Amino acid sequence: MATPITASDFCKRRFDYLIVGGGTAGLVVAARLSEDANITVGVLEAGPASFDDPLINVPGRFGESLDTKYDWRFETVPQAGLNGRKLPWPRGKVLGGTSALNFMTWNRGNREDYDAWGGPFFMKTESFQEPSPTHQAQYRSHFTAEFHGKGGPITSVYSKEHSVPHRYWHATLNNIGVETNYSHFSGSNLAHYLPNSARENLVVLTEAVVNQIVLERDTMGNEWIAKGVIFTSGGEEYTVRTLHEVILSAGSVQSPQLLELSGVGNPSVIQAAGIALKVDSPNVGENLQEHMMTAMVYEIDSSIIGPDDLRADPKLAEAADFTYSSSQSGIRAMLPCSLSYVPDPISKRDLVLAKQFSPGSKRDQIECLFDVGNWSPYFKSVPGKKYGTMLTMLQLPLTKGSIHIPPKSLLGPSGIKDKPVIDPQYFAGGGGDVDFTIMVAAQRFADPIFCTSPLSSIIGTRAFPLATELHDAEEDFAGFVRDYTITDWHPIGTCGMGGSAGIAAGVVDERLRVYGVKGLRVVDASIMPLHIRSHPQATVYTIAEKAASMILEDRRE
C-alpha cells in the first residue's frame, strides 16, 4: 500500500487529473486512468481510509455503518407528501463512498432502463464466481454465463449461505403468479483502489474536504476552464491544480452542491447563496429521483436466528463472528437475498401506463425484499418475539425533486459546511399522485405473500402496521404509506445528461462534460437522467468504466 501523503505534499504533485470523491465511481476512474504510467491521478476523499472495519466488510453486518462516522448524515426538508416528515439521507463519508454503507447488492436494471442513455460496461467491471451445482440446486442461484464478466476488478458472488425465508421465496412467489427469472443479469432484470495503491502515479489524500472547483477564464476571456480545486485538510485550506481535468465524483448530493459553490448553476440559487455566477446552468441540482420504500413487519418462527438476535446477545454475536472469520460462513455471511421485481399491481394499470410507460412495455415497477429482522425505524420490537420485514420499493418514480445549496446567512455566503437543501418532493404533484397510488397498491400485493405456502409455514401475525383484517385485499394502506414511507438511499439525476436538448435539459453532455466549463466532468449516479429498476451500485461502477474509457479516448485526440 502507498505511504500516506500530507496535504502540502499532495499539492506539490503535478496531476493530469484530479478526482473529487474517492467513492464507487471515483476510484474506478482513478484505477483505470492510472493504468497508463504516463498519467498521474490525484484523488481527494473527505472521509477516512478504513480497509478493515467489520462494519463495512462483513456482509451480515449490513446497515451497521449507517449514522456513524462513515455517514454524512444528511436529511431532507419536511415533505408535505409524507405529512411533514423529514427523512434521514445517509451518504458515505469514507474511502469507498456510499458502497461502504450499502447492503452489497449487485444487480442490474432492465435493458430498457439503459437504452435511452447508452449501455454501461457491466461485464468489464465484473469477475463473476459461478455457484456450485449444489448451491444452484439448494438456493436456486441461477445464472447465464455469457452475461457475466470474468476478468474485472469487482468480484461478484452469490452469498455462500441464504437465510431461512429465502428457501421458501421462489416457490411462494411462483404460487402467486410471479415467475422466476433464470437469467436476471441478462438485461431483464474498494476493490479498485487496494490492488493499485502502490502505483506511484495514483495519489489519494483522505480526510480532505473539497470546498469548490477553481474555474478560470481562458486567455481570450470567452470560456471557463477547470484548473483545480480548493480543499480543507487538518483545518488548513489548500489549492491543488490539474493539467487536464477535474472529475467530480462526489455523488448525487454533493456533486451539484460543489458545482453551485463554484458558481455553476441556476442564477437564482447561486445569487441567493452569495456566490458569483459563472455559468448559467439551470438544471444543476434538479431532476432528483429516488427509490422510496415501506417496511411491513411480521412475527416469524421463534427458532429462526437473525441479526436482531446477534445485536441482543453478545455471546451469540461472538460465535457468529468466529464462524465468519474462520470459514466465511454462518449468519454473518448472509445478505438479504429474498427479493423480486414485479410489475405495478394496480387495477388502473392502463391509466398508469398511459402516464408513465409505453403501451405494451413490461416495466417492473416494484421491488419486494423480505428477510429476518425488524428493519422498520418506526416499529419497536417486543422482547421475546422474532420478526421479519418486507421492504416494498418503488423503482420508477415520476416524482422529481431537487438538491441545492442554501441561501447565504448572516455569517456570509454558503459554503461546504452548510448542508444542502434536499427536497425529494415525495408524492408531490401529478406524478406524485401516481407514485402514491402504486405504493398503496404495492402493499396490497405484498401482504398476501405471507399467507401463501410455503413461506406461510414460518410467518405469523403482521405486527406493523397492525392488521385491521389480516391479509384483506381491500385493506386501506394509504395512511401507512403516507406516514411511514422512507428513502431507499438511491438518489440519481441531479447532474443529468442533457441529450439533444443540451444545457436546457441537463448538466452534462453524453461524454459527461459539464456544459459551459472546459476540463470538468461529472462521473457518478447524478448523471443518470432516469431511474432504473435495480439497486444502482453495479450501474455506477459501469458508468465509471465508460467514463474512464471516454476520458482516455479524448486524451488521445
Residues with active-site annotation: 490, 535
Characterize the bridge pairing of strands 15-20 and 41-44: parallel
Beta-bridge partners for 335: none
Is 540 within any annotated ligand binding site? no
**How many alpha carbons lie under 13 Å from residue 536 in its C-beta half-sphere?**
29
Is 264 within any annotated ligand binding site? no
Take residue 243 and report the three cell numbers written for it. Answer: 493539467
* CB-based contacts of 106, cutoff 8 Å, min separation 6: 154, 156, 535, 537, 538
Q: How far is CA 381 from the centre of its chain?
A: 28
Count other C-beta atoms under 10 Å from residue 116's C-beta.
Answer: 10
Give the span between the Cα atoms of 158 and 69, in whole angstroms: 29
Take residue 399 and report the three cell numbers written for it. Answer: 416524482
**Which of 195, 251, 232 shows the shortest CA–CA distance to 10?**
232
Q: How would you label 443-480 residue by residue, b for 16+ Cβ within 10 Å and e otherwise?
A: bbbbbebbebeebbebbbebbbbeeeeeeeeeeebeeb
Question: Which residue is it, cell 401463501?
Answer: 452
Is 105 within any annotated ligand binding site? no
| Omega cis (within 30) before 465 | yes
Is 224 within any annotated ligand binding site? no
DSSP collapsed to 3 states, 115-141? HCCCCCCHHHHEEEECCCHHHHHHHCC
Is 536 within any annotated ligand binding site? yes
**Which of 516, 539, 513 shows the shortest CA–CA distance to 245?**
513
| Rounded (10°) angle between helices 24-33 and 537-556 | 30
Is 210 within any annotated ligand binding site? yes
Give the span between the Cα atoms of 519 and 549, in whole angstroms: 16
Is 129 within any annotated ligand binding site? no
288 class by beta-carbon count within 10 Å (0-12 exposed, 13-18 middle, 19+ buried): buried
SS3 state at 239: strand
Give the span between the Cα atoms of 386 and 371, in whole angstroms: 12
Residues in the chain: 557
CA angle 122, 126, 127 (to 5 degrees): 150
Detail the residues annotated as belonging to a binding site: 94, 98, 210, 489-490, 536-537
Detail the residues annotated as belonging to a binding site for FAD: 94, 98, 210, 489-490, 536-537
